[in-house]
Structure formats: C-alpha cells, structure tokens
Amino acid sequence: MANHKSALKRIRSNETKRQRNRFQHKTTRNAIRDFKALEKKKDAETKLPLVVSMIDKLAKNNIIHDNKAANLKSKLTKHVSTL
C-alpha cells in the first residue's frame, strides 16, 4: 500500500488512464472487425478513413506501437482493394 499522498494519486490516475486506454483499444478493435465484415467496396471506402483515424489516435497516444498501426492500416487498405 502506498504511503505518500502523491503515490495514492498516482494509483488513482493510473487506473483512470488504464480504463480509458482499454476502452479506446477495444472500440477500435470492434471497428476493425466490423470493417472487415463489410462486403461492398463503396461502404468500405467510406468507412476506411474513420477506422484509420481511430488507429492513428491509438498510435499517437502510445496505446499501440507505430509499426503495428502502419501494419493494420496497410492490411485494411489491401482489404478494400481486393473487394
């Protein structure tokens, strides 16, 4: 158990940040799953910028690694082109 006031605050803030990161990561994963399930090219082309934006936000906040974000975006773009 923490003994200092600042350590207690750090515990609280870490938990808040962890919950926010989990929510953002899970939301993005669900968006990617829904995106991959699309079968019409027109729909996929309109939704691609939204999903890419979500991935970029995760990478910017260090929730996922920059290279993982690049790999995901590449795979999603390739998916759209194959439709």
Q: For each of the chain's 83 residues, which pLDDT tens digit applies?
A: 778 999 999 999 999 999 999 999 999 999 999 999 998 999 999 999 999 999 999 999 999 999 999 999 999 999 999 98
Is residue 55 within 8 A of residue 70, CB to CB? The reply is no
Is there a domain that residue 74 lies in? Answer: yes
| pLDDT, position 66 | 95
Question: Range of 81's domain?
Answer: 40-83
Is there a domain that residue 27 lies in? Answer: no
Looking at this protein, which amino acid is placed at residue 46? T
Is there a domain that residue 26 lies in? Answer: no
Q: How many domains would you assign to the chain?
A: 1
Is there a domain that residue 2 lies in? Answer: no
Is there a domain that residue 5 lies in? Answer: no
Is there a domain that residue 47 lies in? Answer: yes
Is there a domain that residue 10 lies in? Answer: no
Side-chain half-sphere exposure of 50, counting CA atoms within 13 A: 13
